[in-house]
Amino acid sequence: MNQSTKAALLSGLVYPGLGQLALGRIYSGTTFIALSTIGFVVLIYRLSKRVYLILDQIIPMLAEDALDFRKIMELSSQTSYSGWNVETLALLLVICCWLVSVVHAYYLGKRLDRSQ
């Protein structure tokens, strides 16, 4: 397997930036890893915060036996935000980092394959 394919697979299937690290590009690899990790942490934090808000509203309903799926979906839609919010921006950051990391790793690998 040539280096371009190996680097693209590492960045695409394992974690963004690992392909760059495998090719010896420490700074670009750690940049992709850091940006992706920040995006993931923000996503997990915000989504878990939203889940806890919904659970705080659901738990009192359990005592009354008045809980159904429609009510849960209604509570979920009430706690969601419309437009460009932090979750959307974090998700876009992760997706962009992932895609750019794969393309970047592939072209770095191609350049190294040609030079050998």
What is the Cα–Cα distance from 59 to 65, expressed in whole angstroms?
A: 10
pLDDT digit string (tens) for 7-46?
Answer: 999 999 999 999 999 999 999 999 999 999 999 999 999 8
What is the Cα–Cα distance from 90 to 15, expressed in whole angstroms?
A: 16
**DSSP three-state, residue 80:** coil
Sorted by sequence, the CB contacts under 8 Å of residue 29 that are 6+ apart come out as 17, 18, 19, 20, 21
Q: Please tell me the predicted confidence (pLDDT) of residue 86.
A: 86
The DSSP output letter for 71 is H
Residue pointed to by tokens 């794969």 = 102
pLDDT digit string (tens) for 65-103?
Answer: 666 777 777 777 776 666 668 888 999 999 999 999 999
List the end-to-end C-alpha distance of the chain, in Å, as a whole number.
14
Q: Please tell me the predicted confidence (pLDDT) of residue 83.
A: 62
What is the Cα–Cα distance from 114 to 97, expressed in whole angstroms?
A: 25
Contact (Cβ atoms closer than 8 angstroms) between residue 105 and residue 23: yes
pLDDT digit string (tens) for 37-66?
Answer: 999 999 999 888 888 888 887 777 777 766
Higher pLDDT, 108 or 81: 108
Q: Please tell me the predicted confidence (pLDDT) of residue 113.
A: 83
User: 67-76: string of b/e by CB count within 10 Å (b at 16+)?
Assistant: eeeeeeeebe
Query: What are the boundaries of each domain within the chain?
Result: 3-111
